[in-house]
């Protein structure tokens, strides 16, 4: 029973197959790909980036890890805005598009959680996630002014309690980019549920 539970948790938390992920220094891919926002508008990463870059967070509506961390989204959005960095949540759970991660459910979730007025977009057929090599929700990718990857991984070191965070990785990375510096660390381990891809 214990072995079966561990196996189930492993499948839930991690993807079945490895996806090659963007490396630090890589340029953002698919920047002209149109993504439907919860307000119905079509947006691209080029539209969303600002003078100092763009923060892309792969997210969804029901993953326990997202639920634990999303109370930091508004603060991160404000941090990005102050640093003149764009901010977007991307939902790539195509296998759940007819259910928990439909556009309508995304709209409801954003309203219920009190998301600020930032983009929360649908990544149809997980094209963007595949290009990024994103595997989890949440999975963070921060790009600098030249749209090259400067940080990837986790939001911080404590999903359970934002008041107990000791290492606010993403916040520090955003501040570093705003100051014209390289984030340190540039990479941490993302923890979360696997992105629900459809079988090809």
The C-alpha angle 105, 107, 19, rounded to 5 degrees, equals 65
**Which pLDDT score is estimated for 195?**
97
Reply yes or no on whether the pLDDT at 66 is more than 70.
yes
Confidence of residue 32 (pLDDT cuts 50, 70, 90): very high
C-beta separation of 160 from 72 below 8 A: no
Phi (first) and psi of residue 122, to 5 degrees: -90, 130
Q: Take residue 167 and report the two structure tokens written for it.
A: 């290492």
The pLDDT assigned to 199 comes to 82
Nearest-CA neighbor of 131 among 58, 68, 49? 58
Domains of the chain, residue spans: 2-194
Q: Quick check: 1 pLDDT over 80?
A: no
Contact 45, 54 (CB under 8 A): yes
Mean pLDDT of 66-87: 97
Q: Tens of pLDDT along 92-108?
A: 999 999 999 999 999 99
pLDDT attached to residue 95: 96
Q: What class is the 2-194 domain?
A: alpha beta
> What distance separates the 2 farthest-apart alpha carbons in the chain?
53
**What DSSP string runs through the chain?**
-HHHHHHHHHHHHS-SS--PPPPTTPBPS-TT--EEETTS-EE-HHHH-BTTBEEEEEE-SS-HHHHHHGGGHHHHHHHHHHTT-EEEEEE--GGGTTTTTSHHHHHHHHHHTT--S-EEEE-GGGHHHHHHT--EESEEEEE-TTSBEEEEE-S-S-SS-GGG-S--HHHHHHHHHHTT---SSSB----SEEP-PPP-
Higher pLDDT, 13 or 122: 122
pTM: 0.90
């Amino acid at each position: 029973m214990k072995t079966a539970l561990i196996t189930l948790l492993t499948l839930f938390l991690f993807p079945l197959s490895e996806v090659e992920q963007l490396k630090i220094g890589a340029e953002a891919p698919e920047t002209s790909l149109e993504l439907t926002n919860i307000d119905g508008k079509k947006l691209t990463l080029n539209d969303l980036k600002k003078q100092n870059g763009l923060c892309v967070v792969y997210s969804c509506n029901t993953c326990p890890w997202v639920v634990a961390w999303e109370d930091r989204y508004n603060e991160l959005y404000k941090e990005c805005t102050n640093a003149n960095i764009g901010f977007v949540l991307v939902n790539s759970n195509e296998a759940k598009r007819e259910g928990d991660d439909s556009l309508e459910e995304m709209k409801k979730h954003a309203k219920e959680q009190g998301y600020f007025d930032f983009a929360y977009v649908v990544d149809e057929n997980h094209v963007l996630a595949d290009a990024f090599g994103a595997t989890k929700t949440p999975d963070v990718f921060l790009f600098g002014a030249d749209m090259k990857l400067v940080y990837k991984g986790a939001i911080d070191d404590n999903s359970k309690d934002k008041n107990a965070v000791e290492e606010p990785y993403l916040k520090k990375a955003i501040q570093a980019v705003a100051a014209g510096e390289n984030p340190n660390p540039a990479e941490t381990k993302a923890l979360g549920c696997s992105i629900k891809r459809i079988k090809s």
